[in-house]
Amino acid sequence: MSFRLFDLNDPQRHAVTTTEGPLLILAGAGTGKTRVITFRIGYMLSQGIEAASILAVTFTNKAANEMRERLMAMLGKEKAGKVTMSTFHALCMRILRQDIEKLGYKKNFTIYDEGDQTGLLKKIITRTVAIGEKMEPNVAKSLISKAKNNGWNAPQEEKTLIGAIFARYQADLKQLNAVDFDDLLLLTVKLLAEHADVRQRWQKRFRYVMVDEFQDTNRLQLELVGYLAKRDDGTPPNVAVVGDDDQSIYGWRGAEVSNILEFETHFPNPTVVKLEQNYRSTNSILNTANTLIKNNPRRRPKQLWSGKGDGDKVRLVMAPNDHEEADFIAGEIAKRKAEGNLRYEDFAVLFRMNAQARSLEQAFQEKGVPYRIIGGKSFFDSREVKDVLSYFACTLNADNDAALLRIINTPPRGISEATVQKALELSIKEKCSLFQALQKEELHQGITPRAVTAIHEFMTQLDAWETKLNEPLVNQPEVLRKIIDESGYYDDLRRSCKNGDEALKRESNIRDLVGGFERYLEKSDGGLSGFLDAMALRQDKDDDDKEKGTGVTLITLHASKGLEFPHCYLVGLEEGVLPHDRSKLEGTLDEERRLLYVGITRAQQTLTMTYCYSRFRYGGSIPCTPSSFIKELDPDLIERIDLKKLMNTPVADTAVKSRFAAMRAALETGGGR
């Protein structure tokens, strides 16, 4: 076992070796909070604490995976594998899969992602609004989500339009045996609150609970941690949380910094540890971050310092527009990589909004610089991936209404929208699944004989696929490939694509998906249902780990939390972008400042920030004003560079001369290059 307590400073070691009772680690960026969690797990195991009794929760799949990898490197696969490292959502899924029946859902419930939610809400809104009333599905979605995250149930009395929509939405979800992401949390908390047997079982299972990035927990997540960690018998909870109030960036999702600032009220008499040495960044970078965050009111003041020296000044580059901004970055990274003997993986470009990725991607492609995007949801949002996942889900279990609805007429097989509607109504009336309703005499009497035949053929096909999939020792990925072939899905996909390129891309997405299942089977014994769960959860957040590929990381500021890169570019420091337009209306300027703080503190060795004089937005080029945050930075730490001037300046005489001198010297020594 290779974990060493002397790789920690004093307060870190204190935190690592305090294993019993509540522990609060409140510390700034890059001070080793996440490292403390991993080491603490290692220490616990060395003390004979059982791996299976340890739970570590984080926010993103990426963070959970990274922690698992660090732990494996430290302790070996076998031991590390028994520790539960999970996102909140995956943990809830696991708890609900076991006991959701106690809440009146069926065990094989489906997860509705945002697209599914919007679809359902659209239908409900059409059914619900009176003449003259109006409600946007996306507005309804976010209001409902806010309500759920506050722990509110759907109203009994439908006094307002949104209340009525909320109530119907919740009822329909239940009817479809589906839950949305907010429900995962809400229902788990409800389950643990109302069922002491379930609660105690999990309390017994997890004797030690740890939460990274605790500043981003919302009320429900805090409650969940409480139910898991507090003991019904009153012994002090073994709960350790780490967080940084300056990095709270999920206020819009209901996160409450007060959870960390008032930790003591929820878990009395905690050991409190402060970490102040930053091990990540140079002082130029760290102090730039410090001067910025000082402008936020209501924060716990911190004294962060780094032993890494001053390093290069932080650069602030002004570009004429977003294309030149992107070109400059792609070009410079290629150059720095070659000259500095660096890897593309040493660089990251951080941005506020997904739309900013487009010009960056283009520039990277043009210059042949490999990159990977984290934060874009393109892969899992694509319809072919969703369709094919629905095929898999239906093969596994045809009672999955949401999945069946998606593929019942894709490709077209003569089952009309009207028939489906009738079947749905029957399923609601009879409280059965759509699949069962489709087989009922009562339905068949009301539709054409051709439709009955079409239904019959499809049901027979689903049955046959299910049988094949469940044959003993069968190669499931292979079977699934055949199923997609046989379904005629590819032909339909090709027909519906604008051109051959698009068709190829979509087909290759499908192959990637099956390949993903193969890889999943190698690492896990969850089978197809485990894979489908993992896929559903993956669509959740900003992190798409599918592209483990190599290259420069293009990443949203939100997704960059907890990560670090040697060289960072932080783009689009303009009013309206960062701080975002919305923040002014919503009074969340402080949160935007924290977001920039998170971005700056990702950089280890160099940081370049950029802004443009004009940017392509809302379908046209609009002039930009530099971000008001720039004024808050310490000018002594920053070097300003005007890209336009830089490009128009001829190479200085001295530079030319010295280049000739170098060439001559090389020739004289006969060294060639």
Query: Is 158 assigned a catalytic role?
Result: no
Piece of 31-39, 335-343, 466-474, 568-576 that binds Mg ion (CB under 5 A): 31-39
DSSP 208: E
Site string for Mg ion, 559-588 (x = CB under 5 A): ---x--------------------------
Binding to ligand ATP (CB under 6 A) within 246-265 occurs at 247
What CA–CA distance (Å, rounded) separates 105 from 73? 40
Q: Among residues 22 and 599, whose Cβ is nearest to ligand ATP?
A: 599
Site string for ligand ATP, 194-233 (x = CB under 6 A): ----------------------------------------
Q: What is the helix (H) or strand (E) element at residue 494, kind and residue range?
A: helix 489-496
What CA–CA distance (Å, rounded) separates 53 from 49? 8
Name which of ligand ATP, Mg ion, none residue 244 binds, using a CB cut-off of 5 to 8 Å depending on partner kind.
ligand ATP
Q: Among residues 33 and 89, whose Cβ is nearest to ligand ATP?
A: 33
Contact 537, 380 (CB under 8 A): no
Q: Which two tokens stand for residue 96?
A: 């609900």
Least separation in angstroms between CB 247 and ligand ATP: 6
Regarding 9 and contact with ligand ATP (CB under 6 A), the answer is yes
Q: Residues 216, 244, 544, 591: which binds ligand ATP (CB under 6 A)?
A: 244
Active-site choice (12, 60, 117, 247): 247
Q: Among residues 333 and 595, whose Cβ is nearest to Mg ion?
A: 595
Contact 191, 96 (CB under 8 A): yes
Query: Is 213 assigned a catalytic role?
Result: yes
Alpha-carbon torsion, ordered 77, 188, 40, 287, to 10 deg: 110
Regarding 599 and contact with ligand ATP (CB under 6 A), the answer is no
Query: Is 467 assigned a catalytic role?
Result: no
Query: Is 345 assigned a catalytic role?
Result: no
Regarding 562 and contact with ligand ATP (CB under 6 A), the answer is yes
Q: Residues 15, 23, 26, 29: which binds ligand ATP (CB under 6 A)?
A: 29
What CA–CA distance (Å, rounded) separates 377 from 53? 34
Rg of the chain (C-alpha set): 28
Query: Is 602 assigned a catalytic role?
Result: yes
Binding to ligand ATP (CB under 6 A) within 563-592 occurs at 564
Query: Is 212 assigned a catalytic role?
Result: yes
* DSSP characters over 356-418: GHHHHHHHHHHTT--EEEES--HHHHSHHHHHHHHHHHHHH-TT-HHHHHHHTTSS--S--HH
Least separation in angstroms between CB 401 and ligand ATP: 40
Q: Residues 33, 141, 207, 372: which binds ligand ATP (CB under 6 A)?
A: 33
What CA–CA distance (Å, rounded) separates 528 from 521? 8
**Assign residue 343 a region: left if phi > 0, alpha if psi is -120 to 50, beta otherwise?**
beta
Name the H helices within 397-540: 401-407, 417-430, 434-438, 441-445, 449-469, 476-487, 489-496, 500-523, 527-538
Piece of 28-36, 252-260, 435-443, 573-581 that binds Mg ion (CB under 5 A): 28-36
Regarding 34 and contact with Mg ion (CB under 5 A), the answer is yes
Q: What is the helix (H) or strand (E) element at residue 180, kind and residue range?
A: strand 178-180
Is 134 buried (19+), middle (13-18) or exposed (0-12) by CB count in 10 A? Answer: exposed
Name which of ligand ATP, Mg ion, none residue 12 binds, using a CB cut-off of 5 to 8 Å depending on partner kind.
ligand ATP
Which residues are catalytically annotated?
33-34, 212-213, 247, 602
The contact set with Mg ion (CB under 5 A) reads 33-34, 562
